[in-house]
Amino acid sequence: MQELTHYINGAHVKGTSGRFADVYNPAIGEIVARVPLASADELNQAVATASAAQPAWAAVNPQRRARVMMKFVDLLNQNMDKLAEALSREHGKTLPDAAGDVQRGLEVVEYCIAAPQMLKGEFTDSAGPGIDMYSMKQPLGVTAGITPFNFPAMIPMWMFAPAIACGNAFILKPSERDPSVPLMLAELMEEAGLPKGILQVVNGDKEAVDAILDHDVIQSVGFVGSTPIAEYIYGKGCSNGKRVQCFGGAKNHMIIMPDADMDQAADALVGAGYGAAGERCMAISVAVPVGDETADRLIEKLIPRVEALKVGPYTAGKDVDYGPVVTAAAKANIERLVQTGIDQGAKLVVDGRDFKLQGYEDGFFVGAHLFDHATKDMDIYKTEIFGPVLTTVRAQTYEEAIGLAMDHEYGNGTAIFTRDGDTARDFANRINIGMVGINVPIPVPLAYHTFGGWKKSVFGDLNQHGPDAFKFYTRTKTVTSRWPSGIKEGGEFSIPVME
């Protein structure tokens, strides 16, 4: 069995804690590797290495740092198939979806090539008699990121690419469920010209997380995962004086107006609800048709589409719609919530509970489920299921529909399908959710905009990637300078004011 490593100071380093986690191929339900879980001492070693390497990297001018990102983009494209296959093997995504995971991270790296422009400061000449003022954007030092299993390529790159482009060193603590791709990314970054010690990968669990949060050298922490853990990391990190951004859970609503193209809406819901087996923080998990007639038309369109979904391993080809969920525990939790929905009175119009895939009976596959007539007091509505389950909550009016999304504790993403511009404009302006789609089911912004939700989907005041990333990973220093033409007699003891 393969034994994975940490990646410290440009080398694969075996774990020394004696603790390991099993890494599964979820399609077959078998352990394919084990990954070491770092102790606090191992984390501290990585931080010490990063701290020693970072000043020299910060002294490299932004243009040369950007050239490393250019080369990294080239290497990502060259190794796309290899990265996608490794990602699919440990996560379960289809190959096209895994390649998309890499691609959306690659696009953020492309944006970071603009570091020379993004890191420019401001200058004011003659702010006072002989006085000039200017600002500098300087790196924080050693930064860290704690990333989830569902995007093992994209989200690490969303964090480490801008951090490193700004001149920081970065400690990556990826998910222990699918750690191979983050290790491969670190290798490619150094092949692209990144100095040793600037990007370290430390695998681990809560012990490593707490060591990151408690380490006084680490200046910032990014996190993506569940809301309870986001709250914990944000609270502890901030109390330790760190800059912290945490992204938590989601329950994304899609409102379908009576005038919507129902075929377009149904296709969008199937892709957004069941893609990646629903293991996306931007998955549409709640459909809200307005009016019973709209709901009936929508369900009629959805049922055959959901029943026709092809579920299988990534090795079955590119026509597979989605693969297994990541662990047996995830599968059991999804099945438990489905049963809860039935028990609480929702109508299960597509029942995937008996789904079995011949030859893959031990895999973590979950059939597609579609609920109708759910209500907002049900667990399947309130809880992020993170599986191939779409829940339909019928609303009688637009105001009731928008109220459902606005009243929910999560505010990551939402969408509306309509042909009416007034309705779409009102929805975009009023909704208290961070990312909005208008006839777009998964409104993930492109790399040059920022990604982030509202309410209990986010903790912190800056979003991921785009301009916010360069703000998050730098501090602003403002300098006031004067070069007098002669030597003045004596000192000035009162605060200087404008003449």
Which pLDDT value is given to residue 73? 98
Domain count, the chain: 2
Q: Which residues pair with 369 in a beta bridge?
A: 389
* Residue 336 three-state SS: helix
* Neighbouring C-beta atoms of residue 295, cutoff 10 Å: 22
Which pLDDT value is given to residue 1? 83
First to last CA, the chain: 76
Q: Please report whether residue 264 resides in a domain.
A: yes
The tens digit of pLDDT for each residue in 182-226 reads 999 999 999 999 999 999 999 999 999 999 999 999 999 999 999
Tell me, yes or no, whether 86 and 129 share the same domain: yes
Q: Please report whether residue 494 resides in a domain.
A: no
Q: Which of 317, 293, 322 is nearest to 306 (CA)?
A: 322
Distance CA 328, CA 169 (A): 36
Which pLDDT value is given to residue 487? 58
CA 115 to each of CA 58, 216, 323, 350, 467: distance values in angstroms, whole numbers, following the listed order: 13, 27, 37, 49, 10
Tell me, yes or no, whether 35 and 148 share the same domain: yes
Which pLDDT value is given to residue 317? 85
pTM (predicted TM-score): 0.94
Tell me, yes or no, whether 216 and 307 share the same domain: no
The answer to whether the CB of 302 falls within 8 A of the CB of 254 is: no
Q: Is the dihedral of CA 176, 182, 184, 187 positive or negative?
A: negative
Q: Which of 123, 66, 48 is nearest to 470 (CA)?
A: 66
- How confident is the prediction for the chain on average, in pLDDT? 96
Tell me, yes or no, whether 233 and 329 share the same domain: no
Tell me, yes or no, whether 233 and 327 share the same domain: no
Q: Can you say how many angstroms the Cα of residue 329 is from the centroid of all Cα atoms in its chain?
A: 22
Tell me, yes or no, whether 177 and 285 share the same domain: no
Which pLDDT value is given to residue 8? 98
Which residue segment(s) compose the domain that 297 sits in? 252-438
Q: Phi/psi at 376 (nearest 5 deg)? A: -75, -5
The answer to whether the CB of 455 falls within 8 A of the CB of 432 is: yes
Distance CA 18, CA 45 (A): 16
Which pLDDT value is given to residue 362? 97
The tens digit of pLDDT for each residue in 66-111 reads 999 999 999 999 999 999 999 999 999 999 999 999 999 999 999 9
Q: What is the CATH number of the domain that holds 28?
A: 3.40.605.10
Which pLDDT value is given to residue 489? 63
Tell me, yes or no, whether 194 and 268 share the same domain: no
Tell me, yes or no, whether 157 and 258 share the same domain: no
* Residue 129 three-state SS: coil
DSSP 8-state symbol, 173: E
Q: Please report whether residue 113 resides in a domain.
A: yes
Distance CA 285, CA 228 (A): 20
Q: Please report whether residue 486 resides in a domain.
A: no
Which pLDDT value is given to residue 377? 97
Burial pattern 240-279, b for ≥16 Cβ within 10 A else e, equals eebbbbbbbbbbbbbbbbbebebeebbebbbbbbbbbbbb
Mean pLDDT for each 10-residue chunk of the chain (499 residues)?
96 97 98 98 98 98 98 98 98 97 98 97 91 96 98 98 98 98 98 98 98 98 97 98 97 98 98 97 97 98 98 93 97 98 98 96 98 98 98 98 98 98 98 98 94 96 95 97 72 68
Tokens of 193: 């010209």
Is 281 one of the catalytic residues?
yes
Q: Please report whether residue 147 resides in a domain.
A: yes
Q: What is the CATH number of the domain that holds 393?
A: 3.40.309.10
Q: Per DSSP, which regions of 17-130 are E strands? A: 20-25, 30-36, 123-128
Q: Please report whether residue 445 resides in a domain.
A: no
Tokens of 451: 């990604």
Tell me, yes or no, whether 235 and 302 share the same domain: no
Tell me, yes or no, whether 97 and 160 share the same domain: yes
Q: Please report whether residue 498 resides in a domain.
A: no
Q: Please report whether residue 493 resides in a domain.
A: no
Q: Which long-range contacts link 212-217 to residues 24+ away (Cβ below 8 Å)?
A: 212/43, 212/144, 212/146, 212/171, 212/173, 213/237, 213/240, 213/242, 214/240, 215/43, 215/44, 215/47, 216/240, 216/241, 217/47, 217/48, 217/51, 217/141, 217/142
Tell me, yes or no, whether 204 and 342 share the same domain: no
The answer to whether the CB of 437 falls within 8 A of the CB of 413 is: yes
Q: Phi/psi at 14 (nearest 5 deg)? A: -65, 150
Which pLDDT value is given to residue 93? 97
| Residue 114 CB burial class (10 angstroms; 0-12, 13-18, ≥19) | middle
Amino acid identity of residue 35, one-letter, is V
Which pLDDT value is given to residue 492? 67
Tell me, yes or no, whether 99 and 189 share the same domain: yes
